[in-house]
Structure 1
Amino acid sequence: MVEIGYKLASEEHGPLDLVCNARQAEDAGFAFAMISDHYHPWTTRQGESPFVWAVIGGISQVTADLRLVTGVTCPTIRIHPGIIAQAAATAAAMMPGRFMLGLGSGENLNEHIFGDRWPRAPVRIEMLEEAVEVIRMLWTGGMQSYYGSFYTLENAQVFSLPERLPPIYIASEGPISASLAARAGDGFINPGTNAEESLVVFRNSGGGDKPAYVEISVCWAESAEEGQRTAYEQWPIAANKGELNRLLPTPAHYEQLAEMATPEEVAESVPCGPDPEPYIRKIEESARMGFDHVCIHQIGQQQREFMEFATTRILPHFR
């Protein structure tokens, strides 16, 4: 059984629109939502990047059943894990039983802004593992101090703890982080790259039957051509390969990279247009890999139209 969720793309929508979209997603019948946590959008054309923890507070007040996971937060450089521990505890208290903390090793795009060096991937994953340790320690309650390889706490206590602590899901696109997700996480998130390979490592490293989430990008439009054009204009990073989306420092660099791609290359991984079959096949493909949660990211501004399409043409297929 696969659950279908909706992506709240903070890179494309302002804070009030995100809150509104979350309420509409609940009304449309999506089981959960994932919300991205960025300081910058990928490109200036996307045009937004609100502070996710303020938006989550708004979402908590307009939804009653929708589960929400950060997809994903980086707790290593831009924001100290001690602050993430407090922010996530507050979110969980405002959304009892409905909030999940998704963590990842981040992107240079967001994490370099205070002049910090961007480490190599193995170091970033070591930092993430220590950050998870810090967060879990603070969630045990009481006054805590910690002196680790990367982080220090002195006399820190999270006073506003929820009755039910949120699970921690860890994002992965490769074997090292997939092993970390199995070892230190309560679940697994894949952003749509190396999905099957990473999930296999997660399961084989002790992930067992823990939840596994994957994100797929789509672009509903009145024609396939319009969808391809919108996907290319708004989400050209779908064509990027390898480590590029982790290494480049500014939206301008991603815009330069987009000039080397074509709408057809973006559409290779993005179902576009009004026909539900490519969307259904993409979800079924993820389910066959072993993912039990599939989050759909609708590229562009036609969110209401996409939700109507999903409610009538996609979600009934999986009930």
Structure 2
Amino acid sequence: MTTTSSAPRFGYTLMTEQAGPKDLVRYAVDAERVGFDFEVSSDHYFPWLSSQGHAPYAWSVLGAVAHATERVDLMTYVTCPTIRYHPAIIAQKAATLQILADGRFTLGLGSGESLNEHVVGAGWPAIGDRQAMLVEAMEIIRALHSGDLVDFRGEYFQVDSARIWDLPDRGVPLGVAVSGERGIDEFRPLADHLIAVEPDAGLVEKWNGHESAGTAAAHSRAIGQIPICWDTDRDAAIARAHDQFRWFGGGWEVNADLPTTAGFAAATKFVTPEDVADSIPCGPDLDVVVDAVRPYWEAGFTDIALVQIGGESQDTFLADAAGPLLEKLRAAAE
């Protein structure tokens, strides 16, 4: 078992797919007040399912959250800097947000999903191309965050005489979503932190032990995320999780290639509420949630973000359950 040198941090997820922008900012303030260590935001053009019902612009939301909060770290989880956005624009946005957040922001990057990237009409490349594009994008972002005038000619991107004029003093840390060991070889030389979708100790160990990590490995974080559906009524929690989060069980390999909410609905039409309840902790029992989160810190994850399913449930969750849940998680992880 991999262990960390310090206690894990627990985060709150600002799900842009299940709440509007003003509500998300309010939830962010309440999550900081109740004691979460950090907050991550999804960055989608579409929700996965129509029943989720929202998709505001994550960067506007994060700018507002940066000013409305004081302590919590902030992060994109994750943004794709290759199709819907050009990496030069991501570099500018991230630098500005880091200034607004007074150094609390981490730029989390990934190779994207067709659901969000297809909207600009640039097609949806094969996975090998998407990963190669992400490598080039990270190189561009790193170069621009140096403050230098940048010219870049790559296989996928071109940058002509670009410079970021407003840069934060300490830069912008980069996290990257990795699903396997091949991704570590490609992305570890360019990223500070690992983002992973499963509690895989081997992935964390290889990330920290990679030849490019050097002394930075001691400061690298492994960041994960897990959905939960707290409710005083377990049946209501299961029904809500099934309605809004049954897509979760499809896995990254399937979900990355589905282009529309209709596609996700069709792909999940045979998923039952029982299937969802088997994979997502649902109901009032906080100890069940702790047991579901435990594999992440046991695998060496330093940061674990919770997704409370259902926009309509956030106020009650934050007021009644989040505080006691954080106490239980921190006590169990000691």
* TM-score interval (norm. to shorter): over 0.9
From 248, 264, 286, the equivalent of 2:296 is 286
Q: Deviations over 1:158-199 (max 9, x none)?
A: 101111212000011222223334221100112x34744543
Quote how far apart the aligned CAs of 1:227 are: 1.1
SS in 1 for 2:84: coil
> Are 2:290 and 2:328, in contact at CA under 8 Å, matched by a contact in 1?
no
Q: Cα RMSD (Å) of the superposition?
A: 1.5
Q: Deviations over 1:138-162 (max 9, x none)?
A: 1111322111111111111110111
From 204, 208, 217, the equivalent of 1:203 is 208
Q: Which has the higher contact order (CA 8 A, sep 6+)?
A: 2
> Deviation above 6 Å: which 4+ runs of structure 1?
none
Alignment of 1:106-121 (within 5 A): 106-121=112-127
- Number of residue pairs matched by the alignment: 318
Q: Deviations over 1:206-236 (max 9, x none)?
A: 4534100000000001122211111010111
SS in 1 for 2:121: coil
Alignment of 1:1-319 (within 5 A): 1-190=7-196, 192-193=197-198, 195-206=200-211, 208-209=217-218, 210-241=220-251, 243-300=253-310, 301-307=312-318, 308-318=320-330
SS in 2 for 1:235: helix
The runs of 5 or more residues in structure 2 that have no matched partner are 1-6
Q: Percent identity at matched positions?
A: 36
> Are 1:181 and 1:202, in contact at CA under 8 Å, matched by a contact in 2?
no
| Cα distance change of structure 1 residues 194 and 59 upon mapping to structure 2, 3 Å threshold | same
> Are 2:35 and 2:326, in contact at CA under 8 Å, matched by a contact in 1?
no
2 CA distance for matches of 1:123 and 1:161?
30
> Are 1:174 and 1:194, in contact at CA under 8 Å, matched by a contact in 2?
no
Please tell me the residue identity of whatever aligns with 2:208.
R
SS in 2 for 1:219: strand
> Are 1:6 and 1:34, in contact at CA under 8 Å, matched by a contact in 2?
yes
Q: Deviations over 1:82-114 (max 9, x none)?
A: 000000000001011201100000001111112
> Are 2:18 and 2:47, in contact at CA under 8 Å, matched by a contact in 1?
yes
> Are 2:103 and 2:168, in contact at CA under 8 Å, matched by a contact in 1?
no
SS in 2 for 1:302: helix
TM-score (norm 1): 0.95
> Are 1:170 and 1:189, in contact at CA under 8 Å, matched by a contact in 2?
yes
SS in 1 for 2:230: coil
2 CA distance for matches of 1:246 and 1:36?
14
1 CA distance for matches of 2:226 and 2:52?
18
| Cα distance change of structure 1 residues 203 and 148 upon mapping to structure 2, 3 Å threshold | same
Q: Deviations over 1:39-71 (max 9, x none)?
A: 111111111111111111110111001110100
